[in-house]
Amino acid sequence: MSKFAHKHINRRSVLKGAAATGFGLGAASSVYLPTAFGRQEKGKVVFWTTHSGLGFEAMQKIGEDYNAMGGAHEVEIVQRPPSSSNETDSAALITAVRSGEGPDVYLLDRFIVGERAASGLLEDITPLMEAAGDDTDLSATFAGFAAEEAQYNGAIYAMPFDTDLRALFYNVKLLEEAGADMAAWDKANGPMTWDAIAEVLHSLDVKDNNGALTQAGFVPYFSQGWHYTYGFAFGGEFFDYENCEVTPDNEKNLQGYQWARDYCEASGFQELYDFRQPSSRPGSSPTDSPFIQGRLGAMISGNWEFAGFKEYAPDTEFSYTFTPVPAEGDPSVTWAGGWSTVIPAGAKNPEGAYDFMKYMTGADGQRTYVEINNNLPTNLELLGDAELLGEDLKWFADQFETTRNRPVLPVGAKYWDEMTAAWELIYTGEAEPADAMAQAKENTMADMEAGGYCPIEAPE
């Protein structure tokens, strides 16, 4: 039996015990006080990202390098689970900021900076830049399209980080077997027309006894074959600043969608859709991609694919060329996305946040990111560095001049979702491009009008 078993516990003994415990804890914590105060001397900057793998490793290295400089602030790099498969979903960030637990810096998809700025989620960093005596002309430091996406209605809300560009990737062996003119596919000879690639790629379609495609030349909407891809490639526009309206039904956009619809019809709407399905479901692995499996002749995708090719299909010869053009002699136009650093509303250390953002998106931070994650930088200082970028990334960087970005709108996410629903109807043959996009326009404009956003300042 325990020697304490017979003792009564009364109120006095409980109070005495509590006082002793409190005193003990206080004494113990005082041992650590100098360290705690030592930490507080440096302003803590909390950085959140939803990146994983090499991207996150690179950001950790950037954080370590920043802290090693021994400045006034110390950054903590925190990995957060991605919200969902939908890139416009910011639920986790919104709820964290609302509850006062948001980070000081957040890595946000640059395309929704305007959207989040309009709702008040982001801090305008222009005053911080001015206070630090920095140039508020972002295009002096970053690629033009990236600088444009970081601003909304004349104010700066983000600093651009990396970017990604779209191009036409192809499987060399499959094309050779189909008897394609490989010189025409060589990027050194400039872009091909959409009709020229269609002719070759249709011949690569192979069906089994049930009529299902076992190999396809091209799936217009696979990977990065988005509404924006075809609209920009055919010379279209997505926003009319003068009339303050979205223009998914721009005549040239519709030409692009018609081309994609015709291609799908010729290969079989349902057959192409079924062919793509296993690789498009959430949680599918890179090896589910028919392009990696060597069953797809060509695809529109981006510069991030190189790492996957190397890892999952090292023996297959892939190459790439310009995004095709509507007619011979037209310029090839592609579009870019990418990420940017922002300061969410209510950040506890905005000065420190801006200091870290400047380092991360500056030449040193972006260089580390390119070295580890092999991504395209947006910092102008690095774009001419052929040694850093290597042959492939350099080629992509050279396309920046004709690269477009999605318009920065307070309804950017809604616009994307509406066009995506319309795009599905188009490539499955359920609707004509003009009808589907007219509906997308009407639905998006309902949000524009309800928000009272007009007029929207055109980017310089």
Partner 1 sequence: MDATSGTSSTALIPPEPAVAGVRATNLKAGPWWRSRTERKNMRLGLLFISPWIVGFLGLTLYPLYRTFYLSFTRFGGFLDAEWIGWANFDRLLGDDLFFKSLYNTFYYTLLAVPIGVVVAMMLALAMDQSLPEIPLYRTILYLPSILPLFATAFIFMTLLDPQQGLVNDMLPAIGLNPPNWFGDARYAKIAIVGMAQFGAGQMALVFLAGLKGIDTSLYEAAEIDGAGVLNRFFKITLPLMTPVILYSLILGISSGLQVFTQSFIITNGGPANSTNFLVFNLYRNAFNYSNQMGYASAMGVILFLITVALAGLVFFTSNKWVNYD
Q: At what angle do helices 194-202 and 251-267 cross, to 10 degrees?
A: 10
| Contact (CB, 8 A) for 235 and 330 | yes
Please pick, from the candidates 282, 314, 391, 401, the single residue that binds partner 1 as defined by CB under 8 A.
Answer: 282
At position 38, the amino acid (one-letter code) is G
Map tokens 């010379």 to a residue: 235
Q: Does 120 bind partner 1 (CB under 8 A)?
A: yes
Binding to partner 1 by CB under 8 A, coded x per residue (else -) over 345-384, reads x---------------------------------------
Distance separating the N- and C-terminal Cα atoms of the chain: 84
Q: Does 52 bind partner 1 (CB under 8 A)?
A: no
* Positions in 204-223 near partner 1 (CB under 8 A): 210, 212
Least Å from the CB of residue 2 to partner 1: 31
**Which residues share a beta bridge with 46?**
76
Please pick, from the candidates 270, 311, 386, 390, the single residue that binds partner 1 as defined by CB under 8 A.
Answer: 270
The pair of structure tokens assigned to 410 is: 């307070």
- Backbone angle region of 294, left / alpha / beta, with phi > 0 → left and psi within -120 to 50 → alpha: left
Least Å from the CB of residue 71 to partner 1: 30
Map tokens 């000065």 to a residue: 351
Q: Which is nearer to partner 1, 52 or 86 (CB)?
A: 86
- Binding residues for partner 1, total number by CB under 8 A: 46
Other CB atoms within 10 A of residue 15 CB: 10
Q: How far is CA 117 from CA 98, 153, 175, in A?
A: 15, 9, 46
Distance CA 148, CA 139 (A): 8
Q: Does 277 bind partner 1 (CB under 8 A)?
A: yes
Least Å from the CB of residue 425 to partner 1: 5
Least Å from the CB of residue 445 to partner 1: 12
Q: How does DSSP classify residue 213?
A: E
Give the range of 5-13, 25-33, 179-187, 447-455 binding partner 1 by CB under 8 A. 447-455
The pair of structure tokens assigned to 54 is: 């090499």
**Which residues share a beta bridge with 83?**
none
Q: Does 428 bind partner 1 (CB under 8 A)?
A: yes
In the chain, the largest separation of any two C-alpha atoms, in whole Å, equals 98
Give the range of 1-9, 45-53, 350-358, 424-432 binding partner 1 by CB under 8 A. 424-432
Give the range of 52-60, 114-122, 139-147, 230-238 binding partner 1 by CB under 8 A. 114-122
Distance CA 76, CA 47 (A): 6
Give the range of 8-16, 43-51, 91-99, 333-341 binding partner 1 by CB under 8 A. 91-99
Please list, residue by residue across 240-262, b when 16 or more beta carbons sit within 10 angstroms of its beta carbon and e when fewer do: eeeebebbbbbebbbbbbbbbbe
Please pick, from the candidates 75, 96, 121, 333, the single residue that binds partner 1 as defined by CB under 8 A.
Answer: 121
Least Å from the CB of residue 277 to partner 1: 5
Least Å from the CB of residue 442 to partner 1: 8
Q: Does 454 bind partner 1 (CB under 8 A)?
A: no
Q: Does 406 bind partner 1 (CB under 8 A)?
A: no
Least Å from the CB of residue 212 to partner 1: 7
Distance CA 300, CA 325 (A): 13
Distance CA 83, CA 90 (A): 7
Q: Is 143 exposed, middle or buried (0-12, 13-18, 19+ CB in 10 A)?
A: buried
Please pick, from the candidates 18, 20, 25, 91, the single residue that binds partner 1 as defined by CB under 8 A.
Answer: 91
Please pick, from the candidates 13, 52, 119, 189, the single residue that binds partner 1 as defined by CB under 8 A.
Answer: 119
Give the range of 59-67, 82-90, 154-162, 394-402 binding partner 1 by CB under 8 A. 82-90
Give the range of 224-232, 237-245, 396-404, 439-447 binding partner 1 by CB under 8 A. 439-447
- Backbone angle region of 381, left / alpha / beta, with phi > 0 → left and psi within -120 to 50 → alpha: alpha
Q: Does 153 bind partner 1 (CB under 8 A)?
A: no
Distance CA 105, CA 62 (A): 14
Q: Which is nearer to partner 1, 410 or 433 (CB)?
A: 410
In degrees to the nearest 10, what's the CA dihedral of 20, 26, 31, 32?
A: 140
Which has the closest alpha carbon to 291: 169, 205, 165?
Answer: 169
The pair of structure tokens assigned to 72 is: 């006034």
Q: Which is nearer to partner 1, 340 or 368 (CB)?
A: 340
Q: Does 278 bind partner 1 (CB under 8 A)?
A: yes
Least Å from the CB of residue 48 to partner 1: 16
Least Å from the CB of residue 93 to partner 1: 9
Binding site for partner 1 (CB under 8 A): 84-86, 88-91, 94, 97-98, 115-116, 118-121, 210, 212, 270, 273-275, 277-278, 281-283, 345, 410-411, 413-414, 417, 420-421, 424-425, 428, 430, 439, 443, 446-447, 450-452
